[in-house]
Structure 1
Amino acid sequence: MDYKTAYQFLIDQGMALETQKNPDAFLMRLKQGQPPIPGQVTAILLALKIAYDTLKETSTFEKNFVLALHELAMESHQQFAAGRNRGVEWPPLLQEDLHRIALGVKSIFSGYWLVEK
């Protein structure tokens, strides 16, 4: 995956609730009480690492990209909690995956890779 692909993938996954274009986007699935598609979290984490590697020296970011990253980090936790309150049984490692996504987003803004291996 190159940076351009990673960038677009993160926007598509993070802006899904606003655009309603992709019912299989990560946040849309969580909102519907469905687990991520197999490999979806791995793809998000890979895209975050590629974005981090490309942007770690950058001090300004495109607003749309920042919003998508914020939504991935924050809205995913909110949808997880809302689903759990509705009785959704999430995959056992999803909460840890959401934490890794949040750390990946924070890494892009901090300039230091924070996600454990």
Structure 2
Amino acid sequence: MGTMDGILDTVSAKHPLLPLLELLKKHGKLILVGAPTQAHELPAFPLLGGRKLVGGRVIGGMKEMQEMLDFAAKHNVKPKIEVVAIDYVNTAIRRLEKTNVKYRFVIDIENTLKPSSN
């Protein structure tokens, strides 16, 4: 609580923002880059009392993208993912529906699709 300078929220579904705002220090920033289909509820008092900011952006340009990749490489920032085979996709979708997912799924196409032998 109250320990983070900034949070980059990539969730593309409606979800509560209050827990994220509570994690921010005074003058902290919450940046939304996910695109939910329903509007978020944004509580005013945590923003006002903590002098916190909420902003958003759909996507940056090439310069911003390169800066982000350079920053990630410099600071050894790596994504947390779960690699799954193509034949696991239906199970992965069921897990998503049950919110039984800890990391983003990445489908390993190269190692799970085999060329047909004719």
Question: Normalised by the size of structure 1, how large is the TM-score?
Answer: 0.27
Normalized per residue, the structure richer in helix is 1
**Larger relative CO (CA 8 A, sep 6+): 1 or 2?**
1
Question: Normalised by the size of structure 2, how large is the TM-score?
Answer: 0.27
